[in-house]
Copies of this chain bind each other. A is one copy, B any other.
Amino acid sequence: MRISDLGEFGLIRNIQRLSFRKTSTTLIGIGDDAAALKVSPSKILLATTDMLLEEVHFDLSFTDFYSLGWKSAAVNLSDIAAMGGVPCHCLTALGIPNHITVERIEDFYRGFTALLKTHRTTLVGGDTCHSRKGMVISVTVLGEVEKKNLLSRAGAKPGDRVFVTGTLGDSAAGLEILKNRVKGQEGRGKGTEAKRLIAKHLRPVPRAAEGRAIARSGCASAMIDISDGLSSDLAHICEQSGVGAEIHSDRIPISPALMKLSGGLTMPVLHYALSGGEDYELLFTVPPGKIKRLQSLHIPVTEIGAVKRGKALMLVDDTGRKNTLQATGYDHFRRMKIT
């Protein structure tokens, strides 16, 4: 069977079925932002790994190595943030093709370290090897969280409200601008707004402080980071919580920069926000009685909908009409065709 017929998430379920499980120390295993492992009575170790492959996750024709290092750290730190934890240590495995110079690898580690340093996270090991087939990056980040602050994708209950930090769609729009630049279609890709969207794509800032504050306040029932896209990542929360959800298209936060450049993009703004992915914002659910506690944190969040009974994911448009929300975020093997 071709993997594209099964899809990334079907494949993950098969892997889960084949794996040996020793549950006593594994609080959360395969299928969340990070694994949660009990290492002492009060402390939980978080472990996450993310791979970045040339021509799949990045294109060396428009990504500098400093940004590549930064982003490789960011995507993993974001997973730790989504569990409510604090990152501590990390490991990098790099496959490096012949044509890449020492200077570029050093730039990678400059960008990588710059972000790690602000999170007091240390590089403690890894692997470097020659690659015959393009640049390969695999990063593992270890973190910690107190048992009471651990947040998983499971836990959303009907009636909970759905929140998101920051704005959505900037990263995907930034990527489109970068691709157009390579083709010589500079267009609107020059101004401050374009720079902002591009920066969001190349050097995302993980919502570490926000994730930690949300977890410590105890206001959230479930949390995930938006890496595949709002629709897919909301589907992950719903699937693992055994619930449905309804979100309002006119409440989805769009940045002024994205609004301003929307005319020059190939798709409607909502497409980038729902399916673009790589925003690395946090998506989380809050019981109505705890919304005041969330507001007291003074974090930039937007309420975009509510958790519902059943399994359906619905999108309410600005006329009040409900449509099924297709989880159209990134599936690596189906390529934007998850349903």
Contact = CB atoms under 8 A, between A and B. Distances in A.
A102 B10 CA distance: 10
Contact of A130 (B15, B21, B124, B333): B333
Interface in A4-45: 4-6, 8, 11-12, 14-15, 18-22, 25-26, 28-32, 34-35, 37, 39-40, 43, 45
A247 interface: no
Nearest to A6: B102
A125 B18 contact: no
B129 A18 contact: no
Given A26-B89, A128-B11, A136 B102 contact: no
Nearest to A3: B102
Interface stretch (A112-120, A231-239, A253-261): A112-120
A298 interface: no
A57 interface: yes
A120 B20 CA distance: 8
A1 B47 contact: no
Contact of A103 (B1, B30, B48, B122): B1
A127 interface: yes
Interface stretch (A90-98, A179-187, A195-203): A90-98
Interface string A101-113: 1110110011001
Contact of A39 (B43, B113, B138): B43
Nearest to A76: B127
A93 B50 contact: yes
B22 A120 contact: yes
Nearest to A137: B138
Contact of A128 (B8, B91, B133): B8
Given A43-B39, A49-B138, A29 B128 contact: no
Interface string A278-318: 00000000000000000000000000000000000000000
A53 B133 contact: yes
Given A55-B133, A123-B19, A35 B89 contact: yes
A250 interface: no
B26 A124 contact: yes
A139 to B, nearest CB: 9
Nearest to A31: B125
A19 B122 contact: yes
A47 B124 contact: yes
B89 A37 contact: yes
A120 B55 CA distance: 37
B54 A45 contact: no
Q: Which 7 A-B pairs rank lowest in CB-CB distance, beginning with the nearest?
A: A138-B138, A35-B124, A133-B133, A51-B93, A133-B134, A35-B125, A130-B332
9 contacts: A1-B102, A11-B128, A18-B113, A32-B125, A35-B89, A35-B124, A37-B89, A136-B138, A138-B138
Interface of A: 1-6, 8, 11-12, 14-15, 18-22, 25-26, 28-32, 34-35, 37, 39-40, 43, 45, 47-51, 53-57, 88-89, 91-96, 98, 100-103, 105-106, 109-110, 113, 116-117, 120-134, 136, 138, 140, 142, 332-333, 335
